[in-house]
């Protein structure tokens, strides 16, 4: 019993030391979307076209912020802001891609929003590729370009698949999810 006491004290000491570090790390975690944007996403509910439209708008805002920062004089503050914006772009693109996977699996008709997304994602990718890489944000830039390429490919592929699917299943046009057919 006496041998366990020092180990218990050591464990409590480590927990006491590490807890503030974990709390600080959680506080420093950055939210990509503002509270107002999160609320808009919630209000859109399960409507795939509305959610895709909102994510497209939010991505446009972030890519425009990147473009705006591109023309500014090089500084540490600019590099930090570009790094953050590029990380946000990559995160939003990945989140939108996950949403597209979910809606695709349930055969939601999202062609209207996919047309806009397919066009906009190509513009985002062009803007990201035009940004010259600099050491402080080069990794974030590369990740954003990869996410942009993945999203562009996914949007174009889904648009083709959905066009073909709904040409064969005209009765399912405009649905938010595939419903079982009565037999």
Structure tokens at 67: 């473009």
Tell me whether residue 29 is in a domain. no
Q: Which are the contacts of 47, defined by CB distance < 8 A and separation ≥ 6?
A: 176
Q: Hey, which bits of 56-181 come out as E strands?
A: none
Predicted confidence at residue 169, as pLDDT, reads 84
Tell me whether residue 13 is in a domain. no
Predicted confidence at residue 158, as pLDDT, reads 95
Dihedral pair phi/psi, residue 154, rounded to 5°: -65, -45
48-70 helix and 111-130 helix, angle to the nearest 10 degrees: 20
Alpha-carbon distance 25 to 27, whole Å?
5
Q: Is 114 helix (H, G, I), strand (E, B) or coil?
A: helix
Predicted confidence at residue 5, as pLDDT, reads 52
pTM for the model:
0.78
> Are residues 80 and 136 in contact, defined by beta-carbon separation less than 8 angstroms?
yes
Tell me whether residue 146 is in a domain. yes
What is the chain's length? Answer: 183
Tell me whether residue 182 is in a domain. no
Q: Is 33 helix (H, G, I), strand (E, B) or coil?
A: coil
Q: Which are the contacts of 165, defined by CB distance < 8 A and separation ≥ 6?
A: 107
CA nearest 152: which of 181, 179, 128, 183?
128
Number of domains in the chain: 1
Tell me whether residue 79 is in a domain. yes
Predicted confidence at residue 31, as pLDDT, reads 86
**Residue 95 belongs to domain spanning:** 35-172
Tell me whether residue 89 is in a domain. yes
Q: Which residues of the chain have a pLDDT value below 50?
A: 7-13, 16-17, 19-28, 180
């Amino acid at each position: 019993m006496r041998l366990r006491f020092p180990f218990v004290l050591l464990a409590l000491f480590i927990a006491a030391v590490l807890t503030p570090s974990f709390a600080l790390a959680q506080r420093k975690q950055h939210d990509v979307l503002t509270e107002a944007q999160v609320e808009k996403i919630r209000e859109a509910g399960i409507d795939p076209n509305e959610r895709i439209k909102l994510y497209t708008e939010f991505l446009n805002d972030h890519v425009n912020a990147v473009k705006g920062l591109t023309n500014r004089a090089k500084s540490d503050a600019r590099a930090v802001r570009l790094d953050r914006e590029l990380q946000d772009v990559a995160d939003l693109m990945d989140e939108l891609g996950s949403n597209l996977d979910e809606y695709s699996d349930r055969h939601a008709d999202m062609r209207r929003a996919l047309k806009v997304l397919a066009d906009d994602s190509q513009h985002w990718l062009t803007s990201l590729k035009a940004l010259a890489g600099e050491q402080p944000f080069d990794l974030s830039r590369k990740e954003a370009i990869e996410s942009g390429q993945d999203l562009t490919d996914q949007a174009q592929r889904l648009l083709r698949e959905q066009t073909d699917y709904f040409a064969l299943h005209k009765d399912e046009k405009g649905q938010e999810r595939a419903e079982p057919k009565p037999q």
